[in-house]
Amino acid sequence: MDKQWYVVNTYSGHENKVKEKLEMRAESMDMKDYIFRVIVPEQKVVEEKDGVTKEKLKKMFPGYILVEMVMSDEAWYVVRNTPGVTGFIGSSGKGAKPTPLQSYEVDSILNNMGMSRIDVNKELEAGAKVKIVSGPFAGMFGTIDSVDVSSQTVMLFVDLFGQETSVEVNLSEIEMVV
């Protein structure tokens, strides 16, 4: 099964507590192979009050967190029964498993946070195979040459007209090949 992103509903204002509890439960219940990342969608907002400019983090979706996981019965149970979780978005209830987010939806949210759907530190390394999913090289496969985390780009070797060519693409334009 593939890991995918799901939206989990929590008590509003408790998103960070639920994130911590879910990460601790995934660790203690040996679910790290099924529950990968838990993210509270936030973005920096500049506010001006009384002539003072402050930068603060604002929740993009109060009452919701994103969970990257493999939807197995055990992982589903662990997430659903974490204190503070009220359910999954995209599930009709009655024991139906939820619908995952589409790639473009996840990319949009994570890009606003300055992140990528691909866990750069764990998944991207020289020699790894990727598929380009958008942009001028969409549909092509490539091999990673280097990753520039600061600019959110990756240098790939792709086969163009029978010749291996180096191209630079954004992290949001690729997905890992399993």
Q: Is the pLDDT of residue 134 over 70?
A: yes
Q: Is the pLDDT of residue 119 over 70?
A: no
pLDDT at 178: 64
pLDDT tens digits, 67-92: 999 999 999 999 999 999 998 998 77
Instruction: For tokens 């204190």, name the residue.
Output: 83
> Has this prediction a pTM greater than 0.85?
no
Task: Give the contacts of 47 (CB within 8 A, at least 6 positions apart).
Answer: 53, 54, 55, 56
Task: Give the contacts of 154 (CB within 8 A, at least 6 positions apart).
Answer: 124, 130, 144, 146, 147, 148, 168, 169, 170, 171, 174
pLDDT tens digits, 138-176: 888 988 888 887 777 889 999 888 888 889 988 778 877
Q: Is the pLDDT of residue 103 over 90?
A: no
